[in-house]
Amino acid sequence: MFSFNEIKKSFLVALWFMFLTFPIMVIRVNTIYKTIEWRWERMLMVGIGAFFLSFLWRYLRKRQEAGQKKAEPGETESLPLTQRLITDKRFSVPGIVAVSLFALAFPFVFSMYQTNIMTTALIYVVVGLGLNIVVGLAGLLDLGYVAFYLVGAYTYALLNLHFGLGFWTVLPIGALFAFLFGIILGFPVLRLRGDYLAIVTLGFGEILRLIMENWNEFSSGPSGIANIPRPGFFGIELSLHQNIIWVYFVMLAMAVFTIFVVRRLQDSRLGRAWIALREDEIACQAMGIDKRRTKLSAFGLGAMWAGMGGAVFAAKTTFINPASFTLWESIIILCVVVLGGMGSILGVICGAMVLILLPEYLRAFSEYRMLLFGAILVIMMVFRPGGMITAVRKTHQFKGLKDQQSTN
């Protein structure tokens, strides 16, 4: 690894990066005060950093390429480590018990602030699982998913503002509205594929946000709606701390409910139809699956979860405005699904945890937070394109005639 060739390569890479970042890193021009600031030490840092990182990069890439050799036909493909852990009863059962205990005890062990963040992460789990239906299972690239999140949040805020309806009453209404909006979105995009679909969904998300921003009479526009009440605890008044804990448990229950339902959907006929749609649209049609119904149900059912998540978001933050529902949010939710592992429920949960908890804990780095975040996204994708936890289709081993003959 440290042969002359390698060192030469890294040296050239270092030189290239020093050249590349020269204007932006090194020079700072101030046209008003007519000064030029030269910061040569930065160039040195870039050079040295690039030199060492290139070694690391190449080493990791070589390892990755070596590990990608596919199994010979005839052998059973060895499942990745995580899948083996999950399916093995000796690990999964105690694992689930441990996680459940941790989740239940969490708000009592950790501070209010941590609980608040964990609640946000749980909201993203629910929303991520919803997008997982659309993107992971059905393979429909949706870049405007935040629209349904917005629908859920504003449904609660507006119904509460105008009619005084409480959280529990509005939650199913919000889910229903989101479902309807999902179907409405689904109709125009039935014929579209791939990136055209992506752009239209993006447009849909933006349209909804812009309407909320501009139609003041309806939605209070950019000033948003404030003083949204938190979910009621059997009508008893709670202190702030208790409220936060209560919202946490509400969200935990909702997350468990979502996981349960999505799991059942995945294994159902509809779920298999979605997977068929993702794999090969034309073949799926040839097999007799109604493409229209499948797509619409994917959009609608997927949107429902975002609607519910949105309602809880409104209740938790007590103040919403259209600026919380930008394209960027859609992208974050998409990252949760892809980073975690498309199509895999456990993957989405992990993705949500990492993506939400990481920036909070990276607060220490404050300024470099977003920079690291972008870098981590790229690195994760390059080294694990399937996401953290790859989804494995349920396979049934067919033992074959050999066994039958032996029993004869």
Q: Which of residues 246-285 bind other proteins (CB under 8 A)?
A: 280-283
Tokens of 392: 């494995």
331 and 143 in contact (C-beta within 8 Å)? yes
Q: In this complex, which beta carbon is closest to other proteins, that of residue 85 or of residue 97?
A: 97
- Contacting residue, 45, 103, 184, 192, with other proteins by CB under 8 A: 192
Tokens of 311: 């309602």
The mark string for 315-334 relative to other proteins (x by CB under 8 A, - otherwise) is -xxxxxx-xx--x---x--x
The mark string for 377-396 relative to other proteins (x by CB under 8 A, - otherwise) is xx-xxx--xxx---------
DSSP 136: I
Site for other proteins in 196-255 (CB under 8 A): 196, 198-200, 202-204, 206-207, 210-211, 213-214, 216, 221-224, 226-227, 239-242, 244
Question: What is the nearest approach in angstroms of other proteins to the Cβ of residue 384?
Answer: 9
Cβ-Cβ contacts under 8 Å for 327 (sequence gap 6 or more): 143, 144, 146, 202, 205, 206
* Closest to 11 (Cα-Cα) out of 3, 27, 22: 3
Alpha helices in 187-239 (DSSP H): 194-214, 216-219
Q: In this complex, which beta carbon is closest to other proteins, that of residue 232 or of residue 261?
A: 232
Q: In this complex, which beta carbon is closest to other proteins, that of residue 193 or of residue 293?
A: 193
Question: What is the nearest approach in angstroms of other proteins to the Cβ of residue 268?
Answer: 24
36 and 29 in contact (C-beta within 8 Å)? yes
Site for other proteins in 62-101 (CB under 8 A): none
Q: In this complex, which beta carbon is closest to other proteins, that of residue 113 or of residue 403?
A: 113
Site for other proteins in 104-133 (CB under 8 A): 104-105, 108, 111-113, 116-117, 120
Q: In this complex, which beta carbon is closest to other proteins, that of residue 6 or of residue 360?
A: 360
Q: Is 27 helix (H, G, I), strand (E, B) or coil?
A: strand
* Closest to 298 (Cα-Cα) out of 282, 274, 280: 274
Site for other proteins in 144-183 (CB under 8 A): none
The mark string for 23-42 relative to other proteins (x by CB under 8 A, - otherwise) is xxx-xxxxxx-x-x-----x
One-letter amino acid for residue 236 of the chain? I
Q: In this complex, which beta carbon is closest to other proteins, that of residue 117 or of residue 165?
A: 117
CA 307 – CA 211 distance, rounded (Å): 18
Q: In this complex, which beta carbon is closest to other proteins, that of residue 70 or of residue 396?
A: 70
Residue 28 backbone phi and psi in degrees, to 5: -130, 110
- Contacting residue, 129, 308, 339, 355, with other proteins by CB under 8 A: 339
CA 255 – CA 231 distance, rounded (Å): 16
One-letter amino acid for residue 258 of the chain? T
- Contacting residue, 16, 52, 257, 361, with other proteins by CB under 8 A: 16
- Contacting residue, 2, 286, 395, 401, with other proteins by CB under 8 A: 286
289 and 297 in contact (C-beta within 8 Å)? no
Q: In this complex, which beta carbon is closest to other proteins, that of residue 205 or of residue 300?
A: 205
346 and 389 in contact (C-beta within 8 Å)? yes
Question: What is the nearest approach in angstroms of other proteins to the Cβ of residue 400?
Answer: 29
Question: What is the nearest approach in angstroms of other proteins to the Cβ of residue 198?
Answer: 7
Q: Is 355 helix (H, G, I), strand (E, B) or coil?
A: helix
Detail the DSSP E strand segments found in 31-167.
35-38
